[in-house]
Amino acid sequence: MTDQADELKRAVSFAAVDRYVRAGTCIGLGTGTTARWAIVRVGERVARGESIVVVPTSGATERECRELGIPLAALGEREIDVAIDGADEVAADWSLTKGGGGALFREKAVALAAGTFVVVVTPEKLVARLGAFATPVEVVPFTLRIVARAIEAAHPEVRVRRRGDDGAPFVTDNGNAILDCSFGPIDDPLALDVSLRAIHGVVATGLFPSALTSAVLVAESGGVRALGEPHARRT
């Protein structure tokens, strides 16, 4: 990653924390190379004495929070005021593809529990329709082959995600596998999510409905801008 790309990620995540995180609240923090800058910013504020508690969306985010001395809460322990997370794709209607880092299940659980869900991205993540990025589908390993076959019956390109280092199957924080499914342009992400979750063995998909997103912040070379007007969560 270039320093410039990382600088944009830092700028957008810092802006999200500065705009949306209030002292004395509990927040959700996402996973990935963009969201990790939000962890850094929250760490700075906690170090300055602000009381902010975090519900992490993955083991990796939990470890980073611990290293920075950020207090943690389990999902359901506290009301989550706002969750901040990155995305792999943001469509024009604010539906999302997530799960490039494999944390989709917990990311969706935290986003659903939060009063406000803020998405932080760099411009290449903005697309007209989802689908260029393969959709991650989290699957109970026992059912992996039959789920893959069921999806392949309608959509031929399904790959079992593997770890980058040794090529072994990727294992999520929930002990599950991931199928990366290339569906091509997706007209109705919500309907596709519902139909995939109807397959026995599918735990979650990385398709986030547009109604879940409250705001999208995009970092560009000229600064950070909000895409349209923020709105209340609609799901």
Q: What is the contact surface with ligand 5RP in residues (CB under 6 A)?
A: 30-35, 85-88, 98-104, 107
* Distance (Å, whole) CA 1 – CA 127: 21
Catalytic residue among 62, 89, 107, 138: 107
Q: How far is the CB of 88 from ligand 5RP (least distance, A)?
A: 5
Residues 6+ apart with CB under 8 A from 23: 45, 50, 51, 52
Nearer to ligand 5RP, 150 or 197 (CB): 197
CB-based contact 214:232 (threshold 8 Å) = yes
Which residues on neighbouring strands pair with residue 216, listed in sequence order? Answer: 119
Nearer to ligand 5RP, 33 or 143 (CB): 33
Nearer to ligand 5RP, 102 or 131 (CB): 102
Determine whether 107 is an active site residue. Answer: yes
Q: Where are the alpha helices (DSSP H) in the chain?
A: 3-20, 35-47, 59-67, 104-113, 144-154, 189-197
* Token reading at 117: 């869900």
Which residues form the catalytic set? Answer: 107
